[in-house]
Structure 1
Amino acid sequence: MAPADPPEDAPPTREEEGVVRPDELDYTSSERVAELSDGRYVVATDNDDAPSAGGSDGDGDSDGEVPSDDRGTLARQQMARYVSESDADYGVGLTAAFDGDIAQHEQFTDDVAAAFGELVTWYVEQIDTEASPSEAIGILLLASNTTVTYPANTLAAVLRDHDLTPDDSIADLIEALRDEPFQIPPNE
């Protein structure tokens, strides 16, 4: 080794302004860097906690790809941050597979009922059905054995919609509903 050369274990020094070579960066000692495997790192780009290698053992996949479990964890973390940064009281960011096709839905609102209604309507619009969205929602709720409890005044609205009074019989209600689906709440 020539006398002007630095020792081998000394950190490299910059020789030129404005350009930084990879070997000039000592990124491995930073708390904002986590090693995935040899030569592969995760670098935190925000002011939150130090990054995690996602529980990886450092070996990684043989083809150099990030394991799908790690990608899923990272995607969930990013989506959680994205949804939580909205100014709305309720937020949904959803990616779903429907018969091999991928669909995405996102919504931010301060109205909890609107959030739920839009979400289930979007869901049934993605499935292959000849039923209308309102019929499909009803069918799915029945088929999933999900119990739904409606306020008692909902029935009064249905009776009014069909010009029925408390003096009419159950048979009159059945007859009124015979040619059309039973809808709660009724059309307004």
Structure 2
Amino acid sequence: MAQGSDDTNPEDGKILSPEELDIAEDEHVTQIDDGRYVVSSDVRTDEKYGNAANTADPQPEPTPEPEPDPTPEFTDANVHEWLAEQMDDSNARYGFDVTAKFDGEVDQQQLVSNDIVTVFESFMLWYGRQMDGSTPVEDVLGILLSESNVPVRYPPESIKTLLRSTQLSPDDTIADLIEAVDDDGIEL
């Protein structure tokens, strides 16, 4: 840019005196450290860093602290609602949260998973373990299913697997099948 043009150079402004540079006494400035200041354009600062007093308005009364939420009331409905929200908030597609009583003892179990078989199997195993500590879980579950009024339909592949496990042939009879199934029962 040529000398003498109408454009002004920002560096060619007024030169400030040392008194003009001393901002420590200004009511809009608070010194927070050696050479460090808080400067407000329209609010007078007080002696504490970060606190400002508005010169146009009087200092407002401090507001009382909000009261903490009262302790929630634990009712069956509240607990069930909270559990439902927790289950809903999980990213899993399936799950359960059970509290059960077995012979006077209370036990709880929770599981979430994207695998429906895992959820069902975990629930059944947990339930079976609660029944009788001396009977194997698979026997407990078999007894529960056979004694219930719920008919169980087994997939054909399960029956085929059973027949293969007995080493019987198509020429054998149902009596042979019953004899092949020993006192330990069968696993499908």
TM-score between the two structures when normalised by the length of structure 2: 0.61
Q: Which has the larger radius of gyration?
A: 2
* Residue in structure 2 matched with residue 20 of structure 1 by the alignment: 65
* Residue in structure 2 matched with residue 159 of structure 1 by the alignment: 163
- SS of residue matched to 1:20: coil
* Residue in structure 1 matched with residue 116 of structure 2 by the alignment: 112
Unaligned runs of 5+ in 2: 1-59
* Residue in structure 1 matched with residue 48 of structure 2 by the alignment: none
CA displacement at 1:41 relative to structure 2 = 8.2
- Cα 1:102/1:88, change in 2 over 3 Å: same
| C-alpha RMSD of matched pairs (Å) | 2.5
**Alpha carbons 2:131, 2:140 under 8 Å: kept:** no
- SS of residue matched to 2:170: coil
- Residue in structure 2 matching 1:178, options 153, 178, 182: 182
- SS of residue matched to 1:182: coil
- SS of residue matched to 2:98: strand
* Residue in structure 2 matched with residue 121 of structure 1 by the alignment: 125
* Residue in structure 1 matched with residue 104 of structure 2 by the alignment: 100
CA displacement at 1:104 relative to structure 2 = 0.9
Instruction: Write out per-residue CA displacement over residues 115-170 of structure 1, whole angstroms, 9 at most, x where no aligned residue.
Output: 11110110111123532111101111122211100112211101111212222211
* Residue in structure 2 matched with residue 136 of structure 1 by the alignment: 140
Supply the distance in 2 between the matched residues of 1:138 and 1:127 (Cα, whole angstroms): 12
- Which residue identity is paired with 1:106? Q
Query: Number of paired residues?
Result: 129
* Residue in structure 2 matched with residue 7 of structure 1 by the alignment: none
Structure 1: which 4+ aligned runs deviate by more than 4 Å?
A: none
**Alpha carbons 2:100, 2:108 under 8 Å: kept:** yes
- SS of residue matched to 1:181: coil
Supply the distance in 2 between the matched residues of 1:41 and 1:182 (Cα, whole angstroms): 54
- Cα 1:89/1:21, change in 2 over 3 Å: closer
TM-score between the two structures when normalised by the length of structure 1: 0.61
Aligned pairs (5 A) from 1:19-98: 20=65, 22=67, 71-98=75-102
Q: Does residue 145 of the first structure (1) align with residue 149 of the second (2)?
A: yes
